[in-house]
């Protein structure tokens, strides 16, 4: 009997397109003799649809015309996607869910909570951990409390921008200074993020971030090497060999990530001394545990070019997942193939579910 895997793709965040690529890659490599794959897309309006057509249509974002509207119910007796056609209900059961969704309303615990209520196992972190890792401010607070290294930051709220912006600017100048990074608290793919090098640019950057979230964070810029480490496991997580990113632009912004073709370079493994490699791996596992992650997370670091001090920048609980994305690539470099990685993630989802029930 094949294991039925509900692969959830798309989503309402600005990372919808990235999710389509990740999902298509995952479906292509999965062993069809072992798994029955049930792709369920979420369109930009938040409608859920079962899609049984070709993978190319997911990649080209033309999947919707052939898709069947379905509902998921927060009730353990409906561990299925429910299709309702002329008042007649048809159930599409699945044994495990694999949300391949990035950003808010996908990676942030919201979709994970549906699977909790349905009592269906799902890949990657649980509800609280997903939510906290999505929120850069909450993550930093917990990392700091666990004595893990983070860069200095300040938090502002959208409604505060309506008041005297000059007060906020002086507060930032007195505490963080330039250059600094301004970010929406909950997002990914560098959307809404600006690097600010002088006063003139600060207010635009704050308003740009406020378009995406009511909570904005401003942090010290580090002249850093960007190092990442993949962590995999539940109670005894393992760290991969680290990788390094050489962005094609001033920083790893949306264009450098997705639009510049292959101009951004990935170094696998990262050219680090064995001592620094160990430090990165140990910090990655500590961060994974501090944030109560399970399944997987990609832990991203900033390593000061001069001092080699390592800061934890963020954790991504559903990192980019195409065959050429960093998370799978770091595991491949460490001896675990993309295909085996997916098997392992599904096993971890089932294991966590068994242990909780």
Residue ranges binding K ion (CB under 5 A): 314, 316
Q: Please report, as residue ranges, which positions from 139 to 178 form the binding site for Mg ion (by CB under 5 A).
A: none
- In the chain, DSSP finds a helix count (H) and a strand count (E) of 11, 17
Which one, of 234, 228, 356, lies nearest residue 295 by Cα?
234
Q: Of the candidates 6, 103, 121, 188, which one interacts with Mg ion according to CB under 5 A? A: 188
Q: How far is the CB of 297 from K ion (least distance, A)?
A: 9
79 or 316, CB closer to Mg ion? 316
Measured from the CB of residue 298, what is the shortest distance to K ion in angstroms? 9
* Beta carbon nearer to Mg ion, 148 or 169: 148
Q: Which residue has the CB atom at the shortest distance from Mg ion?
A: 188
Backbone phi, psi, residue 195, to 5°: -100, 130
Helix (H, G, I), strand (E, B) or coil at 124: coil
Question: CB of 187: closest distance to Mg ion in angstroms?
Answer: 7
Contacts with ligand ADP, residue ranges (CB under 6 A): 151, 181, 183, 187-190, 193, 219-222, 224, 226, 247, 251-252, 300, 302, 313-314
Residues 227, 244 contacting (CB under 8 angstroms): yes
Which residues, numbered 311-340, are part of the site for Mg ion (CB under 5 A)?
A: 314, 316
Q: How far is the CB of 309 from ligand ADP (least distance, A)?
A: 12
The binder of 280, among Mg ion, K ion, ligand ADP, none, by C-beta within 5 to 8 A per type, is none
Least distance to Mg ion from the beta carbon of 44, Å?
A: 20
Cα–Cα distance measured from residue 20 to residue 312, given in angstroms and rounded to the nearest whole number:
28
The minimum distance between CB 151 and ligand ADP, in angstroms, equals: 5
Binding flag, residue 124, Mg ion (CB under 5 A): no
80-85/88-93 β-pairing? antiparallel
Question: What are the strands of the beta sheet with 68-71, ordered from one edge?
Answer: 88-93, 80-85, 68-71, 48-50, 35-42, 3-10, 96-99
Q: Residue 302 binds which entry of ligand ADP, K ion, Mg ion, none, with Cβ cut-offs from 5 to 8 Å by kind?
A: ligand ADP
Give the chain's length.
Answer: 357
Burial of 259 (0-12, 13-18, 19+ CB in 10 A): exposed
Within positions 284 to 303, which residues make up the interface with Mg ion, using CB under 5 A? Answer: none
Q: 257 in helix, strand or coil?
A: helix
Of 95 and 135, nearer to ligand ADP (C-beta) is: 135
């Amino acid at each position: 009997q094949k294991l039925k895997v509900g692969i959830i793709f798309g989503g309402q965040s600005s990372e919808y397109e990235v999710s389509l690529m990740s999902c298509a890659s995952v479906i292509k490599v999965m062993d069809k003799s072992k798994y029955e794959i049930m792709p369920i897309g979420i369109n930009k309006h938040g409608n859920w649809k079962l899609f049984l057509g070709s993978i190319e249509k997911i990649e080209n974002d033309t999947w919707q015309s052939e898709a069947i509207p379905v509902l998921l119910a927060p009730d353990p007796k409906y561990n299925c996607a429910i299709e309702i056609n002329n008042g007649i209900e048809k159930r599409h059961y699945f044994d495990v869910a694999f949300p391949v969704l990035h950003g808010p309303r996908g990676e942030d615990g919201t979709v994970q909570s549906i699977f909790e209520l349905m009592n269906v196992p799902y890949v990657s972190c649980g509800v609280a951990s997903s939510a906290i890792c999505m929120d850069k401010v909450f993550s930093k607070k917990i990392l700091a409390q666990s004595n893990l290294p983070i860069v200095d930051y300040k938090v502002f709220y959208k409604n505060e921008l309506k008041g005297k912006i000059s007060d906020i600017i002086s507060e930032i100048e007195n505490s963080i200074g330039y250059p600094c990074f301004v970010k929406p608290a909950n997002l990914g793919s560098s959307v809404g993020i600006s690097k600010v090098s002088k006063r003139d640019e600060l207010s635009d950057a704050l308003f740009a971030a406020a378009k995406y979230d009511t909570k904005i964070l401003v942090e010290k810029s580090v002249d850093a090497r960007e190092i990442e480490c993949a962590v995999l496991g539940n109670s005894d997580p393992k760290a991969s060999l680290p990788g390094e990113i050489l962005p094609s632009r001033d920083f790893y912004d949306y264009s450098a990530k997705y639009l510049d073709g292959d101009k951004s370079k990935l170094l696998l493994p990262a050219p680090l001394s064995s001592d620094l490699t160990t430090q990165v791996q140990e910090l990655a596992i500590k961060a994974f545990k501090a944030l109560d992650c399970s399944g997987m997370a990609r832990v991203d670091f900033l390593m000061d070019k001069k001092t080699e001090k390592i800061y934890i920048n963020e954790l991504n609980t559903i990192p980019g997942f195409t065959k050429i994305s960093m998370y799978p690539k770091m595991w491949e470099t460490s001896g675990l193939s993309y295909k085996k990685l997916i098997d392992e993630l599904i096993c971890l989802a089932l294991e966590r579910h068994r242990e909780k029930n």
